[in-house]
Amino acid sequence: MTTGVATEIKVGDPAPDFTLKDQDQKEVKLSDFRGKKHVVLAFYPLDWSPVCTGENKCLTDDFPSFQSSNAEVVGISTDSFFSHKAWADHLELKHRLLADMHRTVSKAYGLYFEPLNCAKRATVIVDKHGKVAYVKVQEIKTARDDKEILAALSKLK
């Protein structure tokens, strides 16, 4: 039986385009940022979990630095936009959360974690030309480091 999961995305790969709804049910299309901004795709397992809560608060705290780096930050998990809305409002998040309810984006990027039926914890930076410029996949219980992401963004033109 095949799960339809692609090989894990690599630096230099063209980023698979997608359209997902955010917590306000507005469609976000990756290719709409092409030629304009870099995009930080912050894949995470679950809303309301301790590690995901902490790291999404950090992404909001560092939001001005991401903006200064000409980057759009989006969180992506397999939760619904209803869950995203309640969680984003509760945490007062500044970045958008995208609902990959059918796991299509997680699978296209090779970042689907089958044992828990959710996305892996991973950061993918897509440069403004639509190429993958940075990938870091982490253990489910290990939070990402915003300083590493900002350092990677600083190397992009």
CATH number, position 128: 3.40.30.10
pLDDT of residue 92: 96
Query: Is there a domain that residue 56 lies in?
Result: yes
Query: Is there a domain that residue 9 lies in?
Result: no
Query: Is there a domain that residue 70 lies in?
Result: yes
pLDDT of residue 7: 80
Query: Is there a domain that residue 66 lies in?
Result: yes
Cα(26)–Cα(22) distance, rounded to whole angstroms? 5
Query: Is there a domain that residue 104 lies in?
Result: yes
Query: Is there a domain that residue 139 lies in?
Result: yes
pTM of the model: 0.94
Continuous segment of H or E residues that includes residue 39: strand 38-43
Query: Is there a domain that residue 28 lies in?
Result: no
Query: Is there a domain that residue 14 lies in?
Result: no
> End-to-end CA distance of the chain, in Å?
43
Closest CA to 73 of 137, 6, 111, 22: 22
The 10 Å Cβ neighbour count of residue 108 is 18
Task: Count how many domains the chain has.
Answer: 1
Cα(43)–Cα(74) distance, rounded to whole angstroms? 8
Give the active site residues. 52
Half-sphere exposure at residue 84, Cβ-oriented, CA atoms within 13 angstroms: 25
**Mean pLDDT in runs of 10 for the chain (157 residues)?**
70 98 98 98 96 93 96 98 97 97 97 95 98 96 94 93
pLDDT of residue 3: 52
**What is the residue range of 50's domain?**
19-23+33-154
